[in-house]
Structures are given as C-alpha cells and as structure tokens.
Amino acid sequence: MLFAVAITAALFLSGVVDGLTGKINRTESPIALDAVSQPAPELVIPARDNGEYSSDEQQNIRIYQTYNEGVVNITTEKLVYNWFFDPIPQEAGTGSGSIIDRKGYVLTNYHVVEDAYKVYITLADGSRHEGEVTGTDSENDLAVIKFDPGNLDLVIIPFGISADLKVGQKVLAIGNPFAFERTLTTGIISGLGRPVIGANNYVIRDMIQTDASINPGNSGGPLLNSAGEMIGVNTMIYSPSGGSVGIGFASPVDTARRVLPDLIEFGAVRRGWIDIVPVQLEASLVRYANLPVSQGILVSRAIDGGNADAVGIKGGTTRVRYGRNYIYLGGDIIVQIEDTAVRSLTDFFSALEATKPGDTVEVLFLSNGKERRATVKLSERPESMSWD
C-alpha cells in the first residue's frame, strides 16, 4: 500500500524546517533491538564467480540472499459498516516491513497499518502470523508491529546510519508486496534532506530521494546500503500514474532509531511542546487585528504556569470568533524556534518534532511589535489542545 505523492503536492519545500539536529543525536538509540545493537554480519553467501556475474551483480546477489527473508509482507483488515450499521471486517491493503528484532518487532510505515482492525505478518517461509500494532508515529509515517515468532530463527535487517549518506551512493530496495518471493530493485541516492508532505499533511524532514524502483506494496520495506544495512524505510513515490517513475522517497533510518524507543514503550512519540494555544496567521486575521507581520504563530493563549508563561511569552486578552472556534487577540507572535523560521503551524510542529520533554529551545517572538528572545524548557505535547 504505497502512498503516491500527488502532482500538486509541494515535494521540495525550499527553506522548510532544518529542525534541531544540532542538539539531537540521531544516530544512537537507547533501545536494545537486534537491528540497533548488532552490526551487519559479513555477506558470506557466495555467488557464482565463474565470469558470469560482475562484481556489482555479485554484491546485489549476496545482499538479497543474506537479508531478503528479513522482509515481511503485511496485510491489514479494517472495520466497515453495512447498511444496518453492523461492523464487518474488510481487507484494507498490503505493504512490507523489516524484522528488527528476534522477539518479533517489525518496522513499517504508519500508512500501511493506519486504522487497521487486524494486522497479519507473512514470513518468507509462507507462515502467517497475527500481529499487534505496538506504536505509531504519523508525523514520520513510521509504525512498529509485534508478532510472536515462537521458535523461529528470524533474519534481522541491521540498522545503518543515514547521517553520512552521499548523493550518488548505491542503494537497494527489498519489498514483499504480495506475500510471494521478495523483490529487489537497485539504484542510487538522487537527493538528500528532502522535506516532503506526508499522508497526514505533516512535513517529513530529511527524506532520502532515490531512483530505485519502489512499487505499490513496497511501502515499509528497507532501503539498504551496499553493506546490507538499512539506511531508510521506503515510504512514497512521486507519480502521475501511481507507478514508479524513478522518484521515490524513504524515511531516514536515523529518525526511526530516534523514535523507536518511544513507539515500543509508550505506543507514541513523546515530543517537546511550548505551552500555548497556537494560531497560524493568515491575511484576513492580519488585517483584522492590524498585526505587524504577515506570517508566524499567534499565541492565542499562554497556559497559566506553563513554560511559555514562565519566560514571559504572553497570550491574547480579546476573545473573538475565528471560524468555528474562539481565539484571543493581543498575544505575542512566535516567528522562529532555534534556527527554524516559523511561518505556519507546519513549521511550528516541525521545529519541535525532534525534541523531547525537558529539552530547551530558543524562541524568537514579537511582543508589542518588538523582538524578544527566550529560552524555553519544553513540556510534553498534549494529545489535544483547546481553542477556547
């Protein structure tokens, strides 16, 4: 089940979020998963060396022979309602995933398991296992599934590092879209650091662009380097027709390593937050309130006793109706977090995506038309925020 980026989507959003990578170590994970804690073994399965295969072909064959059984097929069911409002299970879609631990943890895309009522894992030996969604991260389009492997000796896809990738570097994509034999495609890294709009209108940062064919059903499968290490999770394609045209995108493995501990322990990612009710500026609001800037985040409310209130970031005092909600005018306007310009809610969320509760960030904001800076110790992002 591959998410195809619409032609009209802003694929390359120049200047969008650089995030807080200077403060976050994205190459280490405290969780003791086999994929993280164990280096990739040597690719010792020999290919025929009788002149029929080039050295590049032999490398492709060895990687496939060594790791293809670590890539699983994922099928899901969701509940739909008939004319009598009775819930009926219905097959929802299919995708791929990477086994990352011998206890049965599988890394895949969020959109592969979104709204799933049941999840099934099909292994290379053809056996089918019911799984459970352990955690989801819609903002990075990642998810973790757990199944019980019993006494099976699982093949693990080892984690590499995506921070040191280079354009032109060879990559290999393995997928298992239809629960048949796994498929292998090869290519190169075409671009790095691509901010791309994902399935839920979140900007997924630092995406890896590749010309390796990523076909329907390959979502969630691994993108590997020439050592057989996972450096990305195949996520989406840019296509006017739904088929691969040589523009594919993979979520970087460093992001997966960073969020996996929370997904397994808490079921979701614990992210840092500034204790405000944010409102994105738009033209009519700017004109109505006679604001000094046309882009940024209006602080409708600063939660009493929260981290914004503690450093002098003020909320509004004049309650007005705004669409279907009420907001407060007269508050400060946030225009930058760390090195990220905050022009919209997307920028605001993206600037905090890689943070944790307890981290500190520098916030640039306008108060009574004057620039001010404050260092904010982040709280934990709430599940929902009230506009009233």
Residues 90 and 233 in one domain: yes
Q: How confident is the model at residue 4 (pLDDT cuts 50, 70, 90)?
A: very low
How far apart (Å, rounded) are the C-alpha atoms in residues 219 and 236? 7
Give the mean model confidence (pLDDT) for residues 27-50.
61
Residues 199 and 341 in one domain: no
pLDDT in tens, 125-139: 889 999 999 999 999
Residues 1 and 141 in one domain: yes
**What integer pLDDT is reported at residue 300 of this predicted model?**
96
Higher model confidence: residue 265 or residue 22? Answer: 265
| Per-residue tokens: 128 | 């089918």
User: Which structural domain, as residue segments, surrounds residue 320?
Assistant: 272-380
**What integer pLDDT is reported at residue 17 of this predicted model?**
32
**What integer pLDDT is reported at residue 19 of this predicted model?**
30
Final residue of a structural domain among 232, 266, 300? 266
pLDDT at 167 over 60: yes
Residues 248 and 147 in one domain: yes
**What integer pLDDT is reported at residue 18 of this predicted model?**
31
pLDDT at 1 over 60: no
**What integer pLDDT is reported at residue 94 of this predicted model?**
86
Q: Which range, of 12-26, 166-180, 325-339, 353-367, averages the lowest pLDDT?
A: 12-26
Asked whether residue 297 is assigned to any structural domain, the reply reads yes
pLDDT at 103 over 80: yes
Average confidence score pLDDT of the chain? 84
Q: How confident is the model at residue 217 (pLDDT cuts 50, 70, 90)?
A: confident
pLDDT at 3 over 50: no
Final residue of a structural domain among 266, 289, 307? 266
pLDDT at 284 over 80: yes
SS (H, E, C) the chain: CCEEECCCCCCCCCCCCCCCCCCCCCCCCCCCCHHHHCCCCCCCCCCCCCCCCCHHHHHHHHHHHHHHHHEEEEEEEEEEECCCCCEEEEEEEEEEEEECCCCCEEEECHHHHCCCCEEEEECCCCCEEEEEEEEEECCCCEEEEECCCCCCCCCCCCECCCCCCCCCCEEEEEECCCCCCCEEEEEEEEEEEEEEECCCCCEEEEEEEECCCCCCCCCCCEEECCCCCEEEEEEEEECCCCCCCCCEEEEEHHHHHHHHHHHHHCCCCCCEECCEEEEECCHHHHHHHCCCCCCCEEEEEECCCCHHHHCCCCCCCEEEEECCEEEEECCCEEEEECCEECCCHHHHHHHHCCCCCCCEEEEEEEECCEEEEEEEECEECCCCCCCC
Q: How confident is the model at residue 147 (pLDDT cuts 50, 70, 90)?
A: very high
What is the domain-level CATH number for residue 280?
Answer: 2.30.42.10
Instruction: Tell me the residue length of the chain.
Output: 388
**What integer pLDDT is reported at residue 264 of this predicted model?**
96
pLDDT in tens, 40-92: 666 554 555 556 888 889 999 999 999 999 999 999 998 777 666 666 666 76
Q: Is this model's pTM higher than 0.75 or not?
A: yes
How far apart (Å, rounded) are the C-alpha atoms in residues 75 and 96? 9
Residues 260 and 276 in one domain: no
Residues 187 and 229 in one domain: yes
Give the mean model confidence (pLDDT) for residues 146-173.
95
* Number of folded domains that form the chain: 2
**What integer pLDDT is reported at residue 6 of this predicted model?**
38
Residues 322 and 254 in one domain: no
pLDDT at 177 over 80: no
Q: How confident is the model at residue 25 (pLDDT cuts 50, 70, 90)?
A: very low
The percentage of residues in the chain with a pLDDT greater than 70, rounded to a whole number, is 80
**What integer pLDDT is reported at residue 328 of this predicted model?**
96
Residues 63 and 132 in one domain: yes
- Kindly give, in sequence order, each residue whose CB lies less than 8 Å from that of residue 256, ignoring residues fewer than 6 positions away: 107, 140, 142, 159, 233
Residues 234 and 303 in one domain: no
pLDDT at 198 over 90: no
Catalytic residues: 111, 141, 219
Residues 366 and 243 in one domain: no
